C-alpha cells in the first residue's frame, strides 16, 4: 500500500512505493491466511486498487490517492484468488477528509472564527466543494474522539496535580430542536467554562446551564487554589462539608483585582468621585510593583511581595473599609465598588500566599475572548453534543498555543497518530508533551497522511542510554 499526494513528484512517490512493496506483499500474505502463506514470493502483482481522500497543504487542496496492491495467488489446490493489501490503521477510517484537511477546517472555524457556510462557499470556488453538513459531522466526530482520548487524559492529570485552576464562563446560543408544528423557536442559552491549569493545559467545558451543580462536577477531585470572579455559582467550591468526618476536596479561593478595580473605575467615570480615583491609584501601585519582579522565581516573588506589597495591601483594605462605612447606606456605584472589595478581602489577599499566584484572572478572560469574537460569525452551536465537541477542539487549540505549537500542524499530527496510539498513553499526545513525543517518532512516517506508524516505547520504559 502506498499513498500519493498530488503535488509530490512521481519520482518521490514511486521510490517510496518500491521501498514498501516487499513489506506490503508479506502483510497481504499474512492477512490471507494459509492460502496466501503458500504463495509468498510467488504471487503475481496484477495492479492497484485506488481510493481517494481530500487533503490540504499550505497553498491549496490536494487529492490523496491511496493505492493498495492487488495480487493473484494460487494455493496448493491450484485455486486462484485475488487479494488486496489491507488498509492501514486510521483515526477516521471512513472519512473523506485526510488528517491535514480535517485540521485545516478546524483551524479555520475554531481558530480563525470562520463559519462553515463561508468555508463551503470558498471551497466551492476553489474547485473542492464540501457541503457544510458534511464538515459539521466531521467536526463533531473529531471533537468527540479527541475528548474521549487526549482531553480526558489531560483533564485527569490536571485535577490530580495542578496547583491552581483559573476559571471563567461566557454564554453561547444553542440551536433549538425542530418540532413537528414547524414553528420558529428561539435559541436557548448555554455556557462555555474555561479552566487554565497552571502553564500546562487549557480546557473549555460546555454546560447546558450555568449552575453550582455544573461547577461542582467540573472541579470534582481537585484540591488546590481556584481563581475566579466571585460569581455566586463558584461559592459551592469553597463551602466546608456538612459532615466534618468526610474528607472533601479542599479548595482556596483566589480573588481577581481587576474585578475590584472595575467597580472603582465605573464610580470614577459616572460619579467623578475623588475617592474612587484614589482607590485606582492605590491599586495601580500594587500592579507597578508586580511588573518590577516579573519573571523572577516564585520564591523570590513571594519574598518581595511580603516586603513591598503586603504593607500596601494592608493599608488599602484599612482605607477601603473606612470608606465603605461612609457610603454603605447610599445606593450607587461607589457602594458597590467598596462592598465588593471588603466582602472579598480574604480572596484578594490570597495572592500573597505563593509567588505562582496571579493578581487577576485576565488570562481566563483572554481565552474566552476567542469564543466571544468567534460566535459573532458562527452565531450558535447545533446541539449540546456539538457544543461539547466544540469545547474539546477549543481546548486542543488553546493548549497548543499555550505551548507555542502551531494549532493546525498539531491537530494534523494528532489525527495522524491517534488511531495507532496505545489507549493507556494518550497523555503523551497532549500539547504539553507533544514536542517530546514528536521528536521520538519517525519523521517520514509522520509526514505521510496514511500508512504504518512505528510507536516508540513509553518514556519510562526506555533505557538510560536512550
pLDDT in tens, 185-232: 889 999 999 999 999 999 999 999 999 999 999 999 999 999 999 899
d(CA 42, CA 324): 93
Residues 444 and 399 in one domain: yes
- For residue 74, the model assigns a pLDDT of 82
CB atoms within 10 A of CB 91: 20
d(CA 45, CA 39): 12
- For residue 41, the model assigns a pLDDT of 52
pTM of the model: 0.84
- For residue 308, the model assigns a pLDDT of 95
Residues 116 and 197 in one domain: yes
Q: Is 43 a residue whose pLDDT tops 60?
A: yes
Please report whether residue 300 resides in a domain: yes
What does the mean pLDDT of the chain come to?
A: 86
**Percent share of the chain, pLDDT over 90:** 65
d(CA 453, CA 421): 9
Least trusted range by pLDDT, from 2-6, 355-359, 421-425:
2-6
Contact 106, 136 (CB under 8 A): no
Residues 162 and 230 in one domain: yes
Q: What angle do CA 29, 34, 36 make, to 5 degrees?
A: 30
Residue that terminates a domain, selected from 65, 87, 109: 87
pLDDT in tens, 97-152: 999 999 999 999 999 999 999 999 999 999 889 999 999 999 999 999 999 999 99
d(CA 400, CA 273): 44
Residues 215 and 108 in one domain: yes
Q: Is 157 a residue whose pLDDT tops 90?
A: yes
Mean pLDDT throughout 275-280? Answer: 94
Residues 74 and 110 in one domain: no
Q: Which residues contact 243 (CB under 8 A, 6 or more apart)?
A: none
Mean pLDDT throughout 405-432? Answer: 95
Residue that terminates a domain, selected from 338, 360, 382: 360
Residues 119 and 231 in one domain: yes
Please report whether residue 430 resides in a domain: yes
CB atoms within 10 A of CB 335: 18
Output 393 or 5, whichever has higher pLDDT.
393
Return the closest-CA partner of residue 381 out of 106, 115, 103: 115
Please report whether residue 186 resides in a domain: yes
Contact 82, 71 (CB under 8 A): yes
Residues 356 and 376 in one domain: no
d(CA 164, CA 270): 36
Please report whether residue 95 resides in a domain: no
Confidence band for 462, pLDDT divided at 50, 70 and 90: very low
Least trusted range by pLDDT, from 19-23, 49-53, 56-60, 143-147:
19-23
Residues 200 and 323 in one domain: no
Please report whether residue 94 resides in a domain: no
Please report whether residue 140 resides in a domain: yes
Q: Is 249 a residue whose pLDDT tops 80?
A: no
Residue that terminates a domain, selected from 360, 375, 410: 360
Contact 456, 180 (CB under 8 A): no
The one-character DSSP state at 6 is B
- For residue 236, the model assigns a pLDDT of 92
Place of cell 509522520: 446
Please report whether residue 459 resides in a domain: no
Residues 331 and 298 in one domain: yes
Q: Which domain holds residue 282?
A: 263-360
Residues 82 and 129 in one domain: no
Residues 373 and 247 in one domain: yes
Beta bridge partners of 356: none
d(CA 167, CA 372): 15
Cell (9 digits) for 247: 474528607
Residues 226 and 278 in one domain: no
Helix (H, G, I), strand (E, B) or coil at 417: helix
- The total number of structural domains that make up the chain: 3
Q: Is 158 a residue whose pLDDT tops 60?
A: yes
Least trusted range by pLDDT, from 7-21, 225-239, 295-309, 409-423:
7-21
Amino acid at each position: 500500500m502506498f499513498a500519493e499526494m498530488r503535488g509530490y513528484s512521481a519520482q518521490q512517490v514511486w521510490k517510496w512505493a518500491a521501498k514498501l512493496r516487499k513489506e506490503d506483499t508479506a502483510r497481504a500474505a499474512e492477512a490471507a491466511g494459509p492460502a496466501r502463506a503458500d504463495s509468498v514470493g510467488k504471487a503475481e502483482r496484477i495492479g492497484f486498487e485506488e481510493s481517494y481522500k481530500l487533503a490540504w497543504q499550505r497553498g491549496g487542496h490536494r487529492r490523496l490517492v491511496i493505492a493498495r496492491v492487488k495480487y493473484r495467488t494460487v494455493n496448493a489446490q491450484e485455486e486462484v484468488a485475488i487479494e488486496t493489501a489491507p488498509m492501514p490503521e486510521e483515526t477516521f477510517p471512513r472519512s473523506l477528509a485526510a488528517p491535514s484537511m480535517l485540521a485545516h477546517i478546524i483551524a479555520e472555524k475554531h481558530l480563525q472564527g470562520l463559519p462553515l457556510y463561508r468555508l463551503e462557499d470558498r471551497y466551492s470556488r476553489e474547485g473542492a466543494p464540501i457541503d457544510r453538513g458534511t464538515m459539521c459531522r466531521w467536526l463533531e466526530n473529531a471533537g468527540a474522539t479527541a475528548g474521549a482520548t487526549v482531553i480526558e487524559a489531560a483533564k485527569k492529570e490536571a485535577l490530580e496535580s495542578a496547583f491552581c485552576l483559573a476559571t471563567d464562563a461566557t454564554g453561547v446560543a444553542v440551536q433549538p430542536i425542530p418540532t413537528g408544528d414547524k414553528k420558529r423557536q428561539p435559541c436557548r442559552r448555554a455556557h462555555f467554562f474555561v479552566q487554565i491549569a497552571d502553564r500546562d493545559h487549557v480546557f473549555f467545558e460546555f454546560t447546558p446551564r450555568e449552575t453550582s451543580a455544573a461547577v461542582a462536577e467540573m472541579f470534582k477531585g481537585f484540591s488546590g487554589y481556584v481563581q475566579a470572579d466571585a460569581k455566586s455559582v463558584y461559592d459551592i467550591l469553597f463551602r466546608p462539608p456538612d459532615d466534618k468526618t468526610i474528607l472533601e476536596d479542599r479548595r482556596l479561593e483566589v480573588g481577581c483585582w481587576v474585578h475590584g478595580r472595575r467597580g472603582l473605575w465605573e464610580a470614577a467615570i459616572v460619579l467623578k468621585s475623588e475617592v474612587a480615583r484614589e482607590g485606582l491609584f492605590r491599586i495601580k501601585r500594587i500592579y507597578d510593583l508586580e511588573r518590577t519582579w516579573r519573571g523572577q522565581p516564585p520564591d523570590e516573588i513571594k519574598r518581595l511581595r511580603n516586603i513591598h506589597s503586603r504593607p500596601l495591601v494592608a493599608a488599602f483594605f484599612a482605607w477601603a473599609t473606612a470608606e465603605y462605612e461612609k457610603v454603605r447606606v447610599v445606593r450607587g456605584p461607589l457602594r458597590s465598588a467598596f462592598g465588593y472589595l471588603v466582602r472579598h478581602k480574604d480572596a484578594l489577599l490570597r495572592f500573597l500566599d505563593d509567588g505562582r499566584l496571579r493578581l487577576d484572572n485576565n488570562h481566563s478572560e483572554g481565552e474566552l475572548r476567542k469564543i466571544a469574537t468567534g460566535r459573532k460569525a458562527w452565531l450558535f452551536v447545533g446541539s449540546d453534543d456539538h457544543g461539547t465537541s466544540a469545547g474539546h477542539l477549543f481546548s486542543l487549540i488553546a493548549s497548543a498555543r499555550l505551548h507555542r505549537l502551531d494549532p493546525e500542524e498539531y491537530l494534523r499530527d494528532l489525527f495522524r497518530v491517534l488511531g495507532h496510539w496505545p489507549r493507556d498513553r494518550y497523555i503523551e499526545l497532549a500539547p504539553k508533551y507533544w514536542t517530546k513525543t514528536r521528536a521520538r517518532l519517525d519523521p517520514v512516517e509522520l509526514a505521510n497522511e496514511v500508512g504504518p506508524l512505528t510507536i516508540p516505547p513509553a518514556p519510562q520504559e526506555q533505557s538510560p542510554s536512550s
